[in-house]
């Protein structure tokens, strides 16, 4: 039963979360095409929860991969600057105000986010090449420093942008799942699904890398090639998710840590548990963002930070 709990939680989230929000949806109206709640449910609520599900799953898988790669529980796309690089790419795209056909704008924003995340990865790999014998914790600190630099550049862009762009950029930086229809999900699917497949295909290599790079090499793993494929896969996922939802932190930190403590270090099992736990976590965070405020809704980045920050401090003190 313990192994099935994450899947059941994610299933419950998919069923229940679309029914609740600023106004509750009656079941009878969902299947009545003439009723307004039918449109709200199928065009607003359901796509939003599906996006939460995919985003939570992707960020959790990315965090799981980085924690194995760096052998450190504090590693995640957010703390290593990958999400920050993707956010910087989107912020630059917003600042230059390139006139793009609306239907294709998501593709260009995803491309900008992908390039930004690759820049973050390139800095980390450059540091590793310059200091090949540096402790793995130093790589993590380098990622944190890069993240601070990217955040500073985003603040500079906000300072230089016009008021309309500042408002939209500030709200986007807080994280949000406000989409209409299913097209945005189709835009990010070519980035997220292949990335998940790549990571799952490397589950045995992740087990060895999580133990020791020398052990992995002695077992025939091409360590540098494997690391590059994982970095690329996580960058792809972060690019698609950040361009659409904003830089949502702590999901990739909290969820894999919990999954590893409950289900053990085997990535064959941990992959699926992280996927379902991450999806459930973000779906219920989004539900709280819509239910708790009396008016409007909280940005989901605030909710994940409120939950994740104490957990982050707990990990630091525990280590």
pLDDT at 103: 47
- The confidence band for 304, taking pLDDT boundaries of 50, 70 and 90, is very high
Select, from the ranges 53-57, 146-150, 258-262, 301-305, the one with the highest average predicted confidence (pLDDT).
Answer: 53-57
Is residue 285 pLDDT above 90, yes or no?
yes
Q: For residue 157, how many other CB atoms are within 10 A of its CB?
A: 18
Of 152 and 22, the one with more pLDDT:
152
Is residue 252 pLDDT above 80, yes or no?
yes
Of 305 and 132, the one with more pLDDT:
305
- The confidence band for 124, taking pLDDT boundaries of 50, 70 and 90, is confident
Burial label, 266 (beta-carbon count in 10 A; 0-12, 13-18, 19+): middle
- Determine which of 119-128, 187-196, 207-216 has the lowest per-residue pLDDT on average: 119-128
- Determine which of 15-24, 33-42, 77-86, 124-133 has the lowest per-residue pLDDT on average: 124-133
Instruction: In whole angstroms, give the CA distance from residue 36 to residue 271.
Output: 39
Of 134 and 201, the one with more pLDDT:
201
SS (H, E, C) the chain: CCCCHHHHHHHHHHHHHHHCCCCCCCHHHHCCCCCHHHHHHHHHHHHHHHHHHHHHHHHHHHHHHHHHHHCCCCCCCCCCCHHHHHHHHHHHHHHHCCCCCHHHHHHHHHHHHHHHHHHHHHHHHHHHHHCCCCCHHHHHHHHHHHHHHHHHHHHHHHHHCCHHHHHHHHHHHCCCCCCCCCHHHHHHHHHHHHHHHHHHHCHHHHHHHHHCHHHHHHCCCCHHHHHHHHHHHHHHHHHHHHHHHCCCCCHHHHHHHHHHHHHCCCHHHHHHHHHHHHHHHHHHHHHHHHHCCCCCCCCHHHHHHHHHHHHHHHHHHHC
Q: For residue 304, how many other CB atoms are within 10 A of its CB?
A: 25
Ranges of each domain in the chain: 5-318
Q: What are the φ/ψ torsions at residue 179 (nearest 5 degrees)?
A: -130, 160
pLDDT at 106: 65
Is residue 104 pLDDT above 60, yes or no?
no
Q: What is the mean pLDDT of the chain?
A: 85
- What's the average model confidence in pLDDT over 197-226? 90
Q: What is the per-residue pLDDT across 162-194, written as a single tens digit (0 to 9) for each?
A: 777 777 778 888 888 888 789 888 888 888 999
pLDDT at 100: 44
- What's the average model confidence in pLDDT over 151-157? 89
Counting residues of the chain whose pLDDT is more than 90, the rounded percentage is 29
Architecture of domain 5-318: Orthogonal Bundle (1.10)
pLDDT at 169: 79
pLDDT at 53: 96
Torsion angle of C-alpha atoms 257, 259, 261, 262, degrees rounded to 10:
160
Is residue 66 pLDDT above 80, yes or no?
yes
C-alpha torsion sign, points 261, 289, 86, 159: negative
Is residue 99 pLDDT above 70, yes or no?
no
- What's the average model confidence in pLDDT over 47-74? 92
Closest alpha carbon to 154 in 169, 171, 175, 174:
169
Q: For residue 80, how many other CB atoms are within 10 A of its CB?
A: 33
Is residue 137 pLDDT above 90, yes or no?
no
Counting residues of the chain whose pLDDT is more than 70, the rounded percentage is 95
Torsion angle of C-alpha atoms 139, 143, 144, 145, degrees rounded to 10:
100
């Amino acid at each position: 039963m313990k192994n099935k709990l994450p899947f059941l939680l994610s299933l419950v989230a998919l069923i229940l979360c679309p029914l609740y929000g600023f106004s509750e949806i009656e079941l009878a109206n969902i299947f009545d095409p003439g009723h307004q709640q039918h449109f709200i449910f199928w065009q607003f609520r359901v796509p939003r929860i599906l996006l939460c599900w995919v985003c939570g799953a992707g960020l959790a898988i990315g965090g799981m991969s980085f924690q194995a790669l760096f052998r450190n529980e504090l590693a995640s796309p957010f703390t290593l600057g990958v999400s920050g690089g993707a956010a910087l790419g989107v912020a630059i795209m917003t600042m230059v105000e390139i006139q793009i056909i609306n239907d294709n704008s998501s593709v260009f924003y995803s491309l900008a986010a992908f390039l930004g995340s690759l820049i973050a990865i390139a800095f980390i790999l450059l540091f590793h090449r310059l200091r090949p014998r540096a402790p793995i914790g130093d790589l993590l600190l380098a990622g944190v420093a890069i993240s601070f630099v990217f955040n500073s550049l985003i603040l500079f862009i906000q300072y230089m942008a016009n008021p309309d762009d500042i408002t939209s950029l500030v709200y986007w930086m807080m994280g949000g799942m406000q989409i209409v229809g299913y097209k945005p999900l189709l835009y990010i699917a070519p980035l997220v699904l292949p990335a998940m497949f790549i990571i799952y295909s490397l589950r045995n290599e992740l087990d060895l890398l999580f133990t020791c790079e020398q052990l992995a090499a002695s077992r025939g793993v091409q360590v540098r090639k494997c690391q590059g494929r994982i970095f690329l896969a996580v960058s792809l996922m972060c690019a698609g998710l950040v361009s659409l939802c904003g830089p949502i932190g702590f999901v990739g930190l909290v969820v894999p840590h919990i999954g590893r403590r409950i289900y053990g270090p085997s990535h064959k099992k941990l992959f699926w548990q992280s996927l379902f736990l991450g999806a459930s976590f973000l779906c219920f965070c989004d539900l709280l963002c819509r239910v708790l405020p009396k008016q409007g809704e909280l940005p989901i980045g605030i909710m994940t930070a409120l939950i994740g920050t104490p957990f982050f401090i707990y990990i630091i003190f525990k280590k």
